[in-house]
Structures are given as structure tokens and as C-alpha cells.
Amino acid sequence: MVQGQVPERRRCVGGALGPGVRQRQYFGWFSTAAADQPGCVSAVQQGVASISQMLGTTNGTQQLQQMFRSCKPITSDNSWYFKFTLMGAVGASDQMDNPPDWPLNAVRPSIDAPSGWEEVKPYASAKH
């Protein structure tokens, strides 16, 4: 890994704990984060192309409904949300607890520790 990329990656992998990338680049980071997994980025690209093609036809759309177990028909009105959900399932995986930094594991002791707990306890027990 090139030195200097690590902080960027850590910021992104930290996800909601410390988002440091522009929102327009949220899904863009996946191709960088997943580059260490052989064939992953190209598989996603092929999937995007194939699904786009299938959504262009009635038969293809019906096929997608079955494959993805859609509760309701996928239509032109909700196809953006279908894609959004698919993107989320894959594109958000880079901000979970991933090696090599395991950011959530790293953060948790500071919350679990007695001193940390005293800080967050009022938040946990607050009732409006």
C-alpha cells in the first residue's frame, strides 16, 4: 500500500464513526477499498452492466424480480431504489469492520472501558 493512502482509507472504513469523504464519493470509494479482493471490482462492474441491460426489457425485469425476491414489481418509478438497495448491499461493505485496521474493534474498547462508559452512560439512559 502506498504510504499516504492509509489515513484516507481509515477515514472511510470508519464509516459513520468518522466520515471523511464527500458524500458524492461515497460509493466511489468501494473500487479502491475492494481492490485487494481479486476479481471483486470487475464482478461488480459486470453485474451493474448485466442488471442495467435486464432492466431494459420486460422479461429481464421479471427475471430480476424473481432472482432478487422482490415483494413488488420493479417499475420505472422504483427502479432507482432497487439499484440503490443493491448498491448499498455491496458498496457499504467497505465501511464495516474490515482488515487490516478493524476500526470497530479498535473503537469498542474505548466505549466498553469503565471510563468510557461513564461518558456515554447518560446518552444510553436518556429518556426524552
Q: What track of x and - describes contact with other proteins for positions 15 through 44 (by CB under 8 A)? A: -x--x--xxxxxxxxxx-xx--xxxxx-xx
CB of 112 within 8 A of CB of 120? no
**Out of 85, 106, 111, 117, the residue judged to bind other proteins by CB under 8 A:** 85
CB of 54 within 8 A of CB of 64? yes
Dihedral pair phi/psi, residue 38, rounded to 5°? -55, 130
Give me the residues that bind other proteins (CB under 8 A), please: 16, 19, 22-31, 33-34, 37-41, 43-48, 50-52, 54, 64, 67-72, 74, 78, 80-94, 96-99, 122-123, 126-128
